[in-house]
Structure 1
Amino acid sequence: MAVQTFSEPARPSDHDAGKVPETEILPEPAWPRLSFASKYAAAVAHSLGPLRPEVPSVVLDGTKDVIEGHLSTALETAGATGTVVIHILSHGRLSNDNRLHIAATESTQYVGTMWDVSTFIADLEDKDRPNPSPNVLLFLDVCHAGGALSDAFLRTQQEDRKVFIIAACPRDENAYAGNFSSVIAAVLADAARNGLGVDPSVPYIPLEKLVWEVRLRLNALSGDRAQSVYTGAMDAATDLPFLRNLVCPQDRADLPTAYKDRAFRELMSFVEGAYPSLDLQHYLSRVHGGVGADLDPEHCHFAGRSTQLGKLARWISGEADAQVPLVVVTGEPGSGKSALLGALVCCAHPYLARQLHTVVNRIPAEHRPPPTDHIAVVHARKRTLNDIVTALTQQLHLAHPQTGWTPHRLIEAVADLPSSPLIVVDALDEATERTSIAAVLLTPLARVRASTVSGRPAGTPACRLLVGTRPWWKQLGLTPLEQAANELGRIDDLDTVPTDTLIQDLTSYLTALLAEAPRYTNKVTLRGDLARAVAQALVKGEDRGEFLKARLYARHLAQRGPTDLAGIGDAARGAPRRLRDVLQLDPSADQAWVLPVLATVAWAEGEGMSDLLIRTIASAFDPNGATPTPEEISAALAQGTFYLRSSIDPEHRTTLYQLFHQGLADDLRNNPVLDAEPPT
């Protein structure tokens, strides 16, 4: 609702005028006309429409009675969502007791003639109301709008709050020229068009994300007349159905397979909540052989590495090398380190082993470690020493000491445990503080023995420590860990596997991947011969990472591979010799902005980049220096989804993107622009 025109000030009647000297008759001051009000009110209603189940109405130039009547009707007919969205654009003034009043069409500048919005809000928040209020989202575009958030309102517990206010300015500042309403209309329009980058699995736009977008754009728009959004905490409104996320399909049938499968979704949700540092998506994407939206819980393509699996399974179970405290699995990017560790984790973790039958049954029984009750698993990518310590203490269910955890206290606590836990730390080379993690935590853990308190035999290793990292010991500052592994345990280097064995493993892996492709479903001989020919070509590449290249090239073959034996030679010759060659074989990489977007995401830190940040940076990787539109970025992310993995920002619930494999990220960081000609 908006008030654009205000009544002329009341003049005294002739009768009254005759009783008072003319010099003492002062007309009540009028409010200036807001010529922009009707335009912006209509724009907000238009943008809000697709996001709400009801059709928004516009009340223009209402009296106090009309305003109160429309609001009462809206509250009484809140509908199935139990929510109401209100937008108000007018003049505002604070009373002497700091209560916010808003001008109706008949109001003058005296607060007694204005509508008391503070009383309206207090009534909605009253727990003793005969009829409980629906949840209300209130956009206030008036001067002193922040006055609606009284001290008493701000003290209300979030979970008990009924009204969520987004104010155009703090209580001691002014709002100008409808700027706030203009921004609200634009942000709501973008929310309807692209969901503001909110993840497709989130059905409603989180208010924190909405506020962030409004604040960002209003700050850029205000200029000399600075204006800043004022609001209370919005945490409790994260899941309230105020604004639909239209990117989230209503029947959710169009979501990726990993989202559609309820059991799988619940598993992911449980693990992410209980053990976020485990990063189940990371391991499953490696073991399943799927990427991003292609991650399919119904299929697992893990193959090969039988020798390494068998040795590690016997070590984990205690059947062999019981006195070995440390095993480090190394290999170049794409050699299959995480797939190997992921397979072991899915079998050895008691909860995962019960849920992930597809993975467990893919591992030969003789190479399958039994579930172990004492296990902690951490994907170390982008994590600090403190992150690793915290993750291990939580997963091992260690009692929190009064003085807090330190690496030394964790090591002592592990030594005091009555049984030896299995600790898995993958992607150590990608950790933020890898040198400290290796020197201060992992190496001492490998060297410590069970204490007398533990009740275990003297000299027993305190734990079994399994670490995955690239073998760049000196370059990465991991020399102490290398020395400990050579002295106390062993290093399983996947790059030293005999060529014949590697070809055999790659052939098995490719065969499993191609078996899922419709063009090879009934062509057993063709896919077997094709897999072997491609495997033989991959081992002759210019760089390592044969399993990663196999995984990516199999996708190309599934779509454009030969359909008869005569085409196998050409397919083998077209196998990528370098990791970056895979992108040149993918038609989606030729689509506008796909490669600049992937090159941008290669630099993602932490949990990843939002689409807004990607759009800001992507032009740096465009040969012409052009600036992409939000629609072009959305299209590029959709085209390049195979190469991406995503997570959800816990604050704004937006989708964060990173490349699915660090090897690809490293390659694109070093070579952000592809060669002019594809490999031959």
Structure 2
Amino acid sequence: MSGTEPRRYLIATAISHYPNAPAELEWDRPGLVEARRAIVELFTQELGYTHVSDLGLNPTKHQLTRELREFCRSPERRADDVVAVYIAGHGEVLDNDDYVLLTADTEPDDLYDALLPSTLARKILAGTKVRRLLLMLDTCFSGQGGNELLSAMARLKNDWREDETGLAVITSAQPRELAQTGAFPELLTEAVTSFATAGYTPPLLALDAVVNATRTNPKRPDFQHIGLEIIGLTGQIPPFLPNSKHSNQLSHTDLALQQAAEWDEQDKRRDVEFRTRLLRRAMGHSDPSRVGWWFSGRHQALHDIAAWLADPAAEARPALVVTGAPGSGKTAVLGLVAAVSDPEYRRTVPLASIGVRAGHLPRPKSIGTTVYAQSLTDQQIVRAVAAALRLPQVEAVADLLNHLSARPVPDRPHVVLVDGLDEAATPTTLCSQVLRPLMELAAPHLRLLLGTRPHLFAALGLHPDDHIDLDSPRYADPEAVLVYTVRNLLDAHRDSPYVDCPHDIRLAVAHAVAAAAGNCFLVARITAGTLAATPGLPDPCDPGWRRALPSAAADAMHRDLHQRFGDDAGRILALLRPLAYAEGQGLPWEDIWAPLASELADRPYTNDDLHQLRRDAGAYVVEAVEDGRSVYRLYHESMAEYLRQGQDGGRAQRAFTDVLRRTAPYHLDGGRDWSRAHPYVRRHLSAHAAAAGLLDALVTEPDYLVHADCDSLVARLPEVQSDTARLHASVYRTSIDIHRRLDPDGRRQVLATSAARYNEPALLNAFNSRALPGAWKAVAASGALLADNVRNVLTGHSKTVNAVACTELDGRPVAVTGSRDKTVRVWDLTTGRPVGEPMTGHTGHVRT
């Protein structure tokens, strides 16, 4: 554990014997001794906790509260300590609905003297430094005790700073449920170590993901449901459960990362993108357990990129684009360039073994920032660049340029590498309205190294000399494809028949595969992997065999799956298909991936099937991270295109919408509890619903509006159709400039105020009904509403605005404004964001 990690302590006890209880009551639970031992092993061996063993087994009420109190009040406690308390035993709900915990000295005829949850909470928290507490109750009816604990904890934390608060209660059963002895430790252990909860990437486990995994475990008794409640740490992954699978040892490159200084959140995200996308592609394989590099060739392309980076006339060539057909190795080339540009990563790249000469590579620190654009919005790209340049947080290119112009001219420009432009949320506007203005106006502060497919060249306004086409005669590298093919024949499968076969046969097979693949490394990889997994050797001189070799990624994937898995290929395809429709960085496993595969295929699939997929076809899937949780995507976009072929896209999006909605838990009144929905649901459900034509039903749920990701939802609100949905959309957009910056509780109050301004009492009551106790509630509100029901603050002009006109641009409503600052600006009225750059050159004030 590194020095920046908090100290973690476990106090675990079990009351397995009740001396005062007659045998006929059957209070004794000998199996709880083993349950406690299992929890101690889980927390100390898997999660890095120190076991505080003073309490032991079978404490009395006084012993339990005294030991907890003494530990928590110790001068050695720090506010950043993480304390986990596990208590197993017997719980009862009294006639007055109070829950009590029975300790070793409890008298059966006086249960009203047993331990109350509020007493337990007070002993741990009142007047102590404990601010990070995970309390686990493993008793019958423990959900009732959990509710009372949360109520007591909420009162005790009133004077704490919000960033200090982190209290969680996990209960082994619901308020009226029995708890099977030993079930909770077993279910918790399997959930904590399951890939359905998290893969290798997230350093922490989300508590709700862990609890969801216990509920879907087939070993769970039908009558028992584990519960969870959390106070504080809104929007964060609580620090209670470190991910035991998390490893920066995916390759030697990550050893340097552990020694780096603390980075801000944007830096961390970019590093994750680099390691899971560009670096993994540069290494040439997707298996996270491998540490070797399979990159080969591309000497001319690497040389020319290095020359551009070192060009003293940087302003004359502010951008360079690397392009090529799908599978041509564009991301691999850029990944290698990014790796060797980083001084720490550079030392881990085996240049000699991959045959790349140092003279063909850029110097250290040549590239300052790396971004992978898949699913990112224009504003997210701008924010990423601003963060990398240590500029104030901005979302408009004009503001970014203004900040840059105020800076002294640097000795050399900051180079930003942006790959995957064609996979961005809005590729055309990203190129024309973000990257092109930066290319034209940000010199000498900024240069761009870009990766995209060729169809975006026009939007970038590129000169023919400003790109490297990996498929052109100058840069195509057939020898590199051949070397890569040989490496896959040898190493893609542990039992490859090509390891011990005659060299001439291996080389002949590799030549045939590489010739069919042409310039496509992806086709060579898949085809060679298929052959490596096939026990027999083909006859490379057989014309029929050579003609059957695939030349396109879709054909290679089809052949691989059907040749290796035969009749079982349909199962593999069905399990992979949800990833082809995933938004953002990828699809969560948890309780989402398997249900989606089941819905799309109209047959049941479970987590066991996903584990089998991981063993059989894991090379097709890459783990990434979003919102601190593991998500999974296909290794290459070409694979997604293949999996979408012949599918009803509308039906797929309807399936996504239905399944994602069902994952949101319920309130007691039967309404959806969107506050506890998976982050993927809150961020991306609107995209799936809009594509499915089901957005109206979502927008008419007031609580969904409170918790949905603002930037994702607002861009799709113009698509709603029904009168009610349009009304709700108007209420939402009326104050979007305010509530998009707020947490859900603040957003609820602003939305309620907007509903009051619209004189919509039913909607007002819906927002107010779930307000926090003690929070102010809107009753009535006044204020003019704009004709199109939108109020955005359009910030950018430095002086008085003299003229405003509204029109449409590319089918979207826009406003055009003129100002005394001698500029004209265009604004997207749907999002409130600037469109393009300010129009300058006026010699006086711009008026109507």
Same fold (TM over 0.5): yes
CA distance in 2, matches of 1:420, 1:666: 37
2:297 is matched with: 303
Q: CA deviation at 1:193?
A: 7.9
2:374 is matched with: 381
2:532 to 558, 566, 571: 558
1:276 to 269, 286, 297: 269
2:116 is matched with: 116
CA distance in 1, matches of 2:633, 2:264: 17
Does residue 316 (structure 1) correspond to residue 309 (structure 2)? The answer is yes
**Higher gyration radius (CA):** 1
2:436 is matched with: 443
Q: Give the TM-score, by structure 1 length.
A: 0.70
Q: Deviations over 1:587-612 (max 9, x none)?
A: 65554732211112222221222222
- Read off the aligned partner of 1:493 and give its amino acid letter: D
Map 1:58-457 → 2, pairs under 5 A: 66-69=60-63, 83-87=84-88, 90-92=91-93, 106=107, 113-125=113-125, 137-139=135-137, 140-142=142-144, 145=148, 146-153=150-157, 155-156=159-160, 164-166=168-170, 175-178=175-178, 187-188=187-188, 191=191, 194=194, 196-199=196-199, 206-211=206-211, 230-233=229-232, 238-240=238-240, 248=245, 258=250, 263=255, 266=258, 274-277=267-270, 279-281=273-275, 282-293=277-288, 295-296=290-291, 298-304=292-298, 306-318=299-311, 323-358=316-351, 362-372=355-365, 375-396=368-389, 398-400=390-392, 404-415=394-405, 416=407, 417-418=409-410, 419-448=412-441, 450=443
Q: CA deviation at 1:664?
A: 1.0
2:607 to 630, 634, 641: 630
CA distance in 2, matches of 1:232, 1:372: 43
Does residue 664 (structure 1) correspond to residue 665 (structure 2)? The answer is no
CA, structure 1 residues 183+54, in 2 after alignment: closer, same or farther (shift >3 Å)? Answer: closer
CA distance in 2, matches of 1:413, 1:359: 43
1:610 to 588, 591, 597: 588
Q: CA deviation at 1:209?
A: 3.0
1:490 is matched with: 466
Q: Deviations over 1:50-99 (max 9, x none)?
A: 554299xxxxxxxx984555777899999xx985412466345799xx99
CA distance in 2, matches of 1:72, 1:570: 81
Q: Which has the higher contact order (CA 8 A, sep 6+)?
A: 1
- Read off the aligned partner of 1:276 and give its amino acid letter: R
1:464 is matched with: 447
What's the secondary structure of 2:285's corresponding residue?
A: coil
Q: CA deviation at 1:318?
A: 0.2
What's the secondary structure of 1:90's corresponding residue?
A: strand
Q: CA deviation at 1:550?
A: 0.9
CA, structure 1 residues 394+136, in 2 after alignment: closer, same or farther (shift >3 Å)? Answer: closer
1:678 is matched with: none
CA distance in 2, matches of 1:617, 1:375: 39
Q: CA deviation at 1:210?
A: 3.3
- Read off the aligned partner of 2:371 and give its amino acid letter: V
CA distance in 2, matches of 1:70, 1:463: 62
Does residue 506 (structure 1) correspond to residue 500 (structure 2)? The answer is no
CA, structure 1 residues 671+52, in 2 after alignment: closer, same or farther (shift >3 Å)? Answer: farther
Given that 1:288 and 1:302 are in contact with CA atoms closer than 8 Å, whether structure 2 keeps it comes out as: no
CA, structure 1 residues 513+630, in 2 after alignment: closer, same or farther (shift >3 Å)? Answer: closer
Q: CA deviation at 1:579?
A: 1.7
1:16 is matched with: none
CA distance in 2, matches of 1:83, 1:165: 10
CA, structure 1 residues 337+182, in 2 after alignment: closer, same or farther (shift >3 Å)? Answer: same
Q: Deviations over 1:494-523 (max 9, x none)?
A: 344379x55344224334545657734896
CA distance in 2, matches of 1:337, 1:596: 29
Q: CA deviation at 1:575?
A: 2.4
Work out the number of aligned pairs and report it.
586
What's the secondary structure of 1:285's corresponding residue?
A: helix
1:644 to 621, 627, 641: 621
Q: CA deviation at 1:153?
A: 3.9
CA distance in 1, matches of 2:315, 2:345: 24
CA, structure 1 residues 163+45, in 2 after alignment: closer, same or farther (shift >3 Å)? Answer: farther
CA, structure 1 residues 259+108, in 2 after alignment: closer, same or farther (shift >3 Å)? Answer: farther
Q: CA deviation at 1:290?
A: 1.0
CA, structure 1 residues 360+354, in 2 after alignment: closer, same or farther (shift >3 Å)? Answer: farther
CA, structure 1 residues 49+650, in 2 after alignment: closer, same or farther (shift >3 Å)? Answer: farther
CA distance in 1, matches of 2:641, 2:513: 24
- Read off the aligned partner of 1:149 and give its amino acid letter: M
What's the secondary structure of 1:485's corresponding residue?
A: coil
CA distance in 2, matches of 1:630, 1:669: 23
Q: Deviations over 1:570-589 (max 9, x none)?
A: 76444223323333324655
Given that 2:204 and 2:237 are in contact with CA atoms closer than 8 Å, whether structure 1 keeps it comes out as: no
CA distance in 2, matches of 1:567, 1:44: 68
CA distance in 1, matches of 2:328, 2:128: 65
Moved more, 133-142 or 660-669: 133-142
Given that 1:579 and 1:664 are in contact with CA atoms closer than 8 Å, whether structure 2 keeps it comes out as: yes
* RMSD between aligned residues: 5.2
- Read off the aligned partner of 1:299 and give its amino acid letter: W
Given that 1:553 and 1:576 are in contact with CA atoms closer than 8 Å, whether structure 2 keeps it comes out as: yes
Q: Give the TM-score, by structure 2 length.
A: 0.57
In the alignment, structure 1 segments of 5+ residues that lack a partner are 9-33, 56-63, 451-460, 540-544, 674-680
CA, structure 1 residues 511+229, in 2 after alignment: closer, same or farther (shift >3 Å)? Answer: closer
1:18 is matched with: none
CA, structure 1 residues 502+373, in 2 after alignment: closer, same or farther (shift >3 Å)? Answer: closer
CA distance in 1, matches of 2:42, 2:189: 16
What's the secondary structure of 2:250's corresponding residue?
A: helix
What's the secondary structure of 1:313's corresponding residue?
A: helix
CA, structure 1 residues 257+114, in 2 after alignment: closer, same or farther (shift >3 Å)? Answer: closer
What's the secondary structure of 1:436's corresponding residue?
A: helix
CA, structure 1 residues 535+179, in 2 after alignment: closer, same or farther (shift >3 Å)? Answer: same
- Read off the aligned partner of 2:286 and give its amino acid letter: V
Given that 1:275 and 1:395 are in contact with CA atoms closer than 8 Å, whether structure 2 keeps it comes out as: no
Given that 2:594 and 2:610 are in contact with CA atoms closer than 8 Å, whether structure 1 keeps it comes out as: yes
Identity of aligned pairs, percent?
A: 19
CA, structure 1 residues 261+286, in 2 after alignment: closer, same or farther (shift >3 Å)? Answer: closer
- Read off the aligned partner of 1:292 and give its amino acid letter: D
CA, structure 1 residues 195+324, in 2 after alignment: closer, same or farther (shift >3 Å)? Answer: closer
2:781 is matched with: none
Q: Deviations over 1:163-210 (max 9, x none)?
A: 7423699xxxx9334489999689537527846523257798653433
CA, structure 1 residues 239+568, in 2 after alignment: closer, same or farther (shift >3 Å)? Answer: farther
2:576 to 598, 610, 616: 598
Given that 2:371 and 2:417 are in contact with CA atoms closer than 8 Å, whether structure 1 keeps it comes out as: yes
CA distance in 1, matches of 2:283, 2:357: 15
CA distance in 2, matches of 1:189, 1:294: 23
- Read off the aligned partner of 1:323 and give its amino acid letter: A
CA, structure 1 residues 73+228, in 2 after alignment: closer, same or farther (shift >3 Å)? Answer: closer
- Read off the aligned partner of 1:575 and give its amino acid letter: L
Given that 1:300 and 1:359 are in contact with CA atoms closer than 8 Å, whether structure 2 keeps it comes out as: no
Given that 2:309 and 2:366 are in contact with CA atoms closer than 8 Å, whether structure 1 keeps it comes out as: no
CA distance in 2, matches of 1:149, 1:391: 38
